[in-house]
Structure 1
Amino acid sequence: MDAQLTAALGIFTEFLDSLPQPVAIVDNDGNYVYYNEESARQDDYLAAHALGNPLLQVYPKMNQHSSTLLQAAYQGKRYHNQYQLYYNASGKPVHQVHTTLPLQGGHGEIIGAIEIARDLSVINHLHEQFVDLQQRLQAQQAQTDDGIITCEPAMQKLVQQAQRLANTDVQVLIYGETGTGKELFARLLHTHSERAGKPYLVLNCAAMPEQLFESALFGTVKGAFTGAEDRAGLLESAHGGTLFLDELNSMPLAVQGKLLRALQEQTFRRVGSSKECQVDVRIIAATNESPQQMLERQRIRPDLLYRLNVGYLTIPPLRERKRDIPLLAQAFLERNGKLTGNRVKRISNAVLDRLQRHSWPGNVRMLENIILRSLIFCENGEELDFVLLEDDEQASDEKAAARLPPPAAEAPLPATPAEGGGTLDEQLAAYERSLLLYYLKRYPNLSEAARQCGLPRATLQYKMKKYGIRLTQQVVGG
């Protein structure tokens, strides 16, 4: 082994051992001189059996041309974020992304190569399970209703536009802020079309690792790269049906170019194949950025945008459809009441007024989460008469500190801490509990007690749960 490489290993071995990802180094003869425990775990191979041995002896199915480490050590080639699939010593497929670089001596000569990898096997397995689950549930999904709840004329007009688009076979781009319900419209476009009985698959582009995009969309063929298998991609799996690309603005531009070709030619090639495959699939895409924003930020190819923008829907944010809030809130109350076991039947006018005055940055999804959160903390009854918005607890703490009046004689503040009374936090908590019991005994009406405490009713109920105070305790005073 080269003396310079030996010296470098002496300096950096401790650092390399601390890295959580697989790292391997070969000398310029192709022999392993470093092979960490994470590499051994991933490859199911003893590190001691690899060190000092030729790479091609450790991996007999590889050759000088298929091994990126040997290509770097012999030819000086560099690989950045290279996707690779191979089989380890136990025959288990390993999906990884690696960077492989030649190591150079003091005079620029190549003395070896280093490879640092990141294991994608778990992500790839989850993706395959996700695709399989979508395919098995597609029949059930097709039978569900659209789920779009609205009384706003603008939204009703938008639903009508979507239904007209569904009767065509054009590609559709849906724009709306996060949480506005873009997937509901995508499903409507599918279920009201002639493709309704065929697959409806979804790909969230923001959740897909960049290195898996191409194989996920187009599939792979055996031999495309080391250990590659024959596997259909989403385009092929959705043949005859619809593929919904959520958050299209997160798809790499290079993959967008290949998707555009597939849409134009209605053909594609699996990764590693020269064979053209016919495909009949409708693409519906969604984005939380406007077309102009995507173009300015270079998040979409202009030619792909023009191809998808034949059908275009803009979903308004919830703050622009205030009349829908009571309908949506009641629907979420009924849906989540079953989930929480709470038998509340309706929402008070005061709560509805507060909901309609809120700005809703998270839109419909945020509204549903707020209703669920409020149901968890409210008592069973006929009416939901409080709501927990995101800043309630912080705001109530500040208001309480500024407005809470001194308690009456029934709940005096101790002049000195009690002996053995616990930590400061424990004594403060005990005192807060006694204050709450005092107010609840003096003001049996929960709303009035909350007002006298200087707290929103929702926060008072939260603190009652925190300290184990029940309504029966209000009568007897704890």
Structure 2
Amino acid sequence: MEIKYFDALIQAINIITDGIHIVDASGKIVYYNVAAKQLDEIDVDKAIGRHILEVYPSLSFDTSTILKVLKTGKPIYNVEQNFVNYKGDKISTLNSTLPITYNNKVVGALEVSRNITKVRELSEKIVNLQRELYETSESLEKTSKPLAKFNFLDIIGQNKEMLKLKSLGLKAAMSDSPVMVAGSTGTGKELFVQSIHNSSNRKHKPFIAQNCAALPSNLLESILFGSVKGSFTGAENRPGLFELANGGTLFLDEINSMPLELQTKLLRVLQDGRVRRVGSSNTVDVDVRVISAINTEINEVVESKQLRQDLFFRLNVITLVIPDLCKRKEDIPILVEHFIKKYNDKCSKFFSGISKEVMDIFMEYSWPGNVRELEHAIESAVSLYDGDLIREEHLPFQFKNYHPTYSSSLDTSVIQPLNVAVDKVEREIIISALEQTDYNIAKAAKLINVPRQTLQYKIKKLDIPFH
């Protein structure tokens, strides 16, 4: 029976899409799963029993994560490793490595490797394209089209808070001080960021945006600060985004997702105005205005230790907090009109507005996806249907059978028990969040600001179908 359990375990490990290596205390490979074989293109029979450096000659005792763990006996998590396989292909992996101990002695190590080669290649292509773009832009006249797309006229709304924010944003554009923009997903943070750049004296210089949550720490470091040839396997002399944005604006989105160890280096660049490429001992002077954005409460980023306190104060010189759509519902009719015109022009349609029923729904709906969700609802209706008015049957699924629970003249026949009404609203919000994140539990939980375990419990409790 134990043999059957062991066989089942091996079969399960071979289904895992991440590469798994196990070595003994001397560094010889004793296990190598199917995903590792596909990653390295090495037959299992040729790998088992051979030293890790024999199979991966481009690594060394200093660069191999698995040999570091054998030496120190300490685990490492999410460390990027770059190597060249025996075919000459450059491979990048994100490794987590654990020591295997017996009687307080390290007898081996287990490593889980995720292939991020394509991610690195695409990131480097983006940096190269950005470099070409901004080198070309230096030769353009000042009358040329700005590199950032939006300006303050593109921010739609007459809500008093939004009008105040536009005024503050325009004043912020007149200075070079760092700006931090806070707001939930879909509120339009980047519209403000680009508008500030396009109203500043840097508007004819580069505007570069980088999402700090999109890349692993090591990769993000080389993307931001650049690299020199030989700093890691496959590294080339390449400027980072700070150098490419010289004279212009660097927008760091979801700055609160940046790893803490990288925040220290960012703080140094902001203080000194100098950047050091990965693997270099030389520094380069840069003149870059940094605008950052967070998608959580501004008071929480330091309290929850998402951001170093000193970095927070360095970035948060000017603060703009964008309100959720549910707090500026008087702007919904204006936004609806704007989006209908936009997608009428794009799709060659002739919608003149929305029905009263749809407007009632829109005015009561909680809008967890904010302005972006409203735009997508209008885009969906205009793209898929024809007619004069957008009606309830034209709306995306989260609005189907959604009926306002209040009315200007109270109809007691539709009053529901409070717990039923709460469950209904929760169900609609969760379904909307799941749809927007392609049913990714972690992303959906972040979108509606609840712990992942709570979201999983709610999905089960409310009998929400999970794709």
Q: Decide which of 51, 63, 66 is 1:66's aligned counterpart.
A: 63
The answer to whether structure 1 residue 49 and structure 2 residue 60 are counterparts is no
Which region of structure 1 is more displaced relative to structure 2, 146-155 or 73-82? 73-82
The residue number in structure 1 matching 2:14 is 17
The residue number in structure 2 matching 1:444 is none
Matched position secondary structure for 1:80: strand
In 1: Cα distance, 2:327 partner to 2:8 partner: 62
The residue number in structure 2 matching 1:245 is 252
Q: Structure 1: which amino acid aligns with 2:37?
A: A
In 2: Cα distance, 1:143 partner to 1:83 partner: 34
1:125 shift after superposition: 2.8
1:11 shift after superposition: 10
Per the alignment, do residues 343 and 258 of structure 1 end up closer, same or farther by CA in structure 2, a change over 3 Å counting?
A: same
Alignment check: 8 A CA contact 1:204 1:247 kept? yes
1:300 shift after superposition: 1.9
Per the alignment, do residues 132 and 329 of structure 1 end up closer, same or farther by CA in structure 2, a change over 3 Å counting?
A: farther
Q: Structure 2: which amino acid aligns with 1:219?
A: G
Alignment check: 8 A CA contact 1:196 1:241 kept? yes
Q: Decide which of 320, 342, 361 is 1:335's aligned counterpart.
A: 342
In 2: Cα distance, 1:12 partner to 1:352 partner: 56
1:50 shift after superposition: 2.4
Alignment check: 8 A CA contact 2:65 2:81 kept? no
Per the alignment, do residues 311 and 111 of structure 1 end up closer, same or farther by CA in structure 2, a change over 3 Å counting?
A: closer
The answer to whether structure 1 residue 122 and structure 2 residue 118 are counterparts is yes
Alignment check: 8 A CA contact 1:201 1:243 kept? yes
Matched position secondary structure for 1:289: coil
Per the alignment, do residues 128 and 323 of structure 1 end up closer, same or farther by CA in structure 2, a change over 3 Å counting?
A: same
Which region of structure 1 is more displaced relative to structure 2, 327-336 or 45-54? 45-54
Per the alignment, do residues 102 and 158 of structure 1 end up closer, same or farther by CA in structure 2, a change over 3 Å counting?
A: closer
In 2: Cα distance, 1:276 partner to 1:103 partner: 41
Which region of structure 1 is more displaced relative to structure 2, 236-245 or 186-195? 236-245
Superposition map of 1:334-353 within 5 A: 334-347=341-354, 351-352=358-359
Q: Decide which of 350, 367, 374 is 2:374's aligned counterpart.
A: 367
Q: Structure 1: which amino acid aligns with 2:243?
A: E
Alignment check: 8 A CA contact 2:343 2:383 kept? no
The residue number in structure 2 matching 1:420 is none
The residue number in structure 1 matching 2:461 is none
Superposition map of 1:376-387 within 5 A: 376=383, 378-381=385-388, 383-384=389-390, 386=392
TM-score, length basis structure 2: 0.73
Alignment check: 8 A CA contact 1:97 1:211 kept? no
The residue number in structure 1 matching 2:332 is 325
Alignment check: 8 A CA contact 1:175 1:287 kept? yes
The structure that has the greater radius of gyration is 1
The residue number in structure 2 matching 1:97 is 94
In 2: Cα distance, 1:79 partner to 1:26 partner: 15
Quote the RMSD (CA, aligned, Å): 3.1
The answer to whether structure 1 residue 285 and structure 2 residue 285 are counterparts is no
The residue number in structure 2 matching 1:469 is none
The answer to whether structure 1 residue 84 and structure 2 residue 81 are counterparts is yes
Alignment check: 8 A CA contact 1:26 1:73 kept? no
The residue number in structure 2 matching 1:112 is 108
1:349 shift after superposition: 6.0
Matched position secondary structure for 1:206: coil
1:93 shift after superposition: 1.8
In 1: Cα distance, 2:75 partner to 2:253 partner: 34
In 1: Cα distance, 2:255 partner to 2:8 partner: 45
1:189 shift after superposition: 0.8
> What percentage of aligned pairs have identical amino acids?
39
Unaligned runs of 5+ in 2: 1-5, 138-144, 404-412, 414-467
Unaligned runs of 5+ in 1: 1-8, 397-402, 404-478
In 1: Cα distance, 2:261 partner to 2:327 partner: 36
Matched position secondary structure for 1:291: coil
The residue number in structure 2 matching 1:217 is 224
Per the alignment, do residues 163 and 392 of structure 1 end up closer, same or farther by CA in structure 2, a change over 3 Å counting?
A: closer
1:291 shift after superposition: 2.3
The residue number in structure 2 matching 1:27 is 24
Alignment check: 8 A CA contact 1:43 1:88 kept? yes
TM-score, length basis structure 1: 0.72
Matched position secondary structure for 2:239: coil
Q: Structure 2: which amino acid aligns with 1:63?
A: S
Per the alignment, do residues 288 and 36 of structure 1 end up closer, same or farther by CA in structure 2, a change over 3 Å counting?
A: closer
How far does the alpha carbon of each residue in 1:165-198 deviate from its partner, in whole angstroms, 9 at most, with x for none? Answer: 1111110011222221110000011111111112
Alignment check: 8 A CA contact 1:98 1:115 kept? yes
Alignment check: 8 A CA contact 2:56 2:84 kept? no
In 1: Cα distance, 2:402 partner to 2:363 partner: 19
Per the alignment, do residues 65 and 10 of structure 1 end up closer, same or farther by CA in structure 2, a change over 3 Å counting?
A: farther
1:224 shift after superposition: 2.5
The residue number in structure 1 matching 2:443 is none
Alignment check: 8 A CA contact 1:66 1:226 kept? no
How far does the alpha carbon of each residue in 1:34-91 deviate from its partner, in whole angstroms, 9 at most, with x for none? Answer: 3333223222333332233333333333333333333444564543322111112222
Per the alignment, do residues 167 and 102 of structure 1 end up closer, same or farther by CA in structure 2, a change over 3 Å counting?
A: same
